[in-house]
Copies of this chain bind each other. A is one copy, B any other.
Amino acid sequence: MVDVAREAGRSKSTVSAVIRGEPHITPETRKRVLDAIDKLGYRRNAAARYLARQRSDALGVVVGDFRNPFHAEMAILVEQEAAKRGYTTLLATTGDDEEVQAARIRVLLEHRVAAIIFLAFAGPKRALAQIPKDTAAVFVGFQTALGPSVSVDEATGTSLVITHLVNLGHTRIGYVTITGAAERYTEQPRLHTYQQVLEQTGLTYDERLVLQVSASDANGGPGDAHARLQQYLTRHERPTAIFAASDYTALEIIECADQLGIAIPRDLSLVGFDDIATAGTTRISLTTVAQPFRELAAEGVEAAIARIEGRQAKPRLLTPQLVVRNSTGPPPKPRG
């Protein structure tokens, strides 16, 4: 920067003023400085800038698993929304390992991000606890009491699903989540909602209809989740319809059903959650609860910025929508 100043025949602080876009600069001076910057290929130093200003314009975004298209899509949108508002984004994936999760969050913290956005995922309490109070943390994509959250109303979404299935004649409606340890924090509550809605509808909650597997279950190895799903789908008292905790999970169920020769929706109805792109595809055509992606992202960023600026971030509960496609139909005639 001092080089630029010399080249422009001005002082360092004038250069700084030009860069920051201060209004009170002579056009002449501005031009000289800009030219010098150009000529020297000068690029301001984010570290030094942060240090001097003591405030950062970077948002940390942590997502559980980019492999899940919902996460990926949201990450893109959040980045876009943040950019619109003048913030840059530091993205991090964590996977299942709690060590890794803590480590990634630590890195963001060391970079002094102004806020951390948890995308459809919240690390374990331990990782969350390390976040200093003056760093805003907001949660987007799922309902939680961990902090300010922007999400769809899961009770409504679940009602939509159960009602749809009940109207088709289903009474044995299962609930399945296949997730990394990471997502347990987000999908556990969704199970709770399922249970509540079920009972409100007059159906009895049957534990045997619920399957929760961790994708990376240590005992049994990686194949374990698949084995348990297979077993769940072939049991005699299996459900006639399944509500999957996410489209990503639904995709795994489809694969397993395909392998077992279980036809969807003839033998089994399936509903997902999220409405990722693949769900709308002819081959998959998955009935699902659509989340308003863009809105979620925009509101999430807004909430984060609100917190940064010391404003209160009111929790937002958006309205989900049921998209009926070809993965649901009437239950099969009782066997035997």
- Please report the C-alpha to C-alpha distance between residue A103 and residue B91 in the assembled complex, in whole angstroms: 16
Docked-complex contact B72 and A110, CB < 8 angstroms = no
Indicate if the CB atoms of A91 and B88 lie closer than 8 Å: no
Contact check: which of B65, B103, B107, B110 meets A45 at CB < 8 Å? B110
| A112 contacts across to B, CB distance below 8 A | 45-47
- Report whether A47 and B44 are in contact in the complex, using a CB–CB cutoff of 8 Å: no
Q: A45-B110, A90-B91 are in contact. List 5 more A-B contacts (CB 8 A).
A: A43-B109, A46-B110, A76-B93, A258-B282, A258-B283
A116 to chain B minimum Cβ distance, whole angstroms, is 13
Q: Is A124 an interface residue (CB 8 A)?
A: no
Chain B residue numbers with a CB within 8 Å of A46 are 47, 107, 110-112
Instruction: Provide the bound-state CA to CA distance between A130 and B283, in Å.
Output: 44
Chain B residues within an 8 Å CB radius of A93: 75-76, 79, 91
Measured in the bound complex, the distance between the Cα atoms of B65 and A106 in whole Å is 26
Q: List 9 A-B contacts (CB under 8 A).
A: A45-B112, A46-B107, A76-B93, A80-B95, A88-B107, A90-B90, A91-B91, A278-B278, A283-B283
A69 to B278, CA, bound (A): 12
Tell whether, in the assembled complex, residue B83 and residue A73 are in contact, meaning their CB atoms are under 8 Å apart: no
A331 to chain B, nearest CB (A): 22
Min CB gap A183→B, angstroms = 15
Query: Residue A21 at the B interface, CB < 8 A?
Result: no
CA distance A225 to B100 in the complex (A): 40
Does A143 sit at the interface, judged by CB under 8 A?
no
Q: If the complex has contacts A76-B93, A91-B91, A255-B282, are A110 and B67 also in contact, measured as CB distance less than 8 A?
A: no
Docked CA distance A5–B202 (Å): 64
Flag A59-102 by CB within 8 Å of B: 1 or 0 each. Answer: 00000011101001101100110010000111111010000100
Which residue of the partner chain, among B47, B109, B130, contacts A51 with CB atoms under 8 Å?
B47
A156-213 residues with Cβ-Cβ distance < 8 A to B are: none
Set of chain B residues within 8 Å of A107, measured between Cβ atoms: 46, 88
Residues of B within 8 A of A283 (CB): 254-255, 258, 283-284
Contact with B along A250-276 (1 / 0, CB 8 A): 010011001100000000000000000
A336 within 8 A of B: no
A64 to chain B, nearest CB (A): 11
**A74: nearest chain-B partner, CB-CB:** B66
Contact with B along A4-18 (1 / 0, CB 8 A): 000000000000000
Known contacts A47-B47, A48-B47, A283-B254; A72/B79 CB under 8 A = no
Q: Is the CB of B92 within 8 A of A92?
A: no
Chain B min CB distance to A101 (Å): 12
Shortest 4 CB-CB distances between A and B: which pairs? A91-B91, A258-B282, A47-B47, A66-B72
Q: Cβ of B66 and Cβ of A76 under 8 Å apart?
A: yes
User: Within 8 Å CB of A41, what residues of B?
Assistant: 130, 132
- Identify the closest chain B residue to A73 (Cβ): B67
Chain B residues closer than 8 Å to A26, beta-carbon distance:
none
A230 CB to nearest B CB, Å: 13
Answer yes or no: A219 CB below 8 A from chain B CBs.
Answer: no
A277 on the B face (CB < 8 A): yes
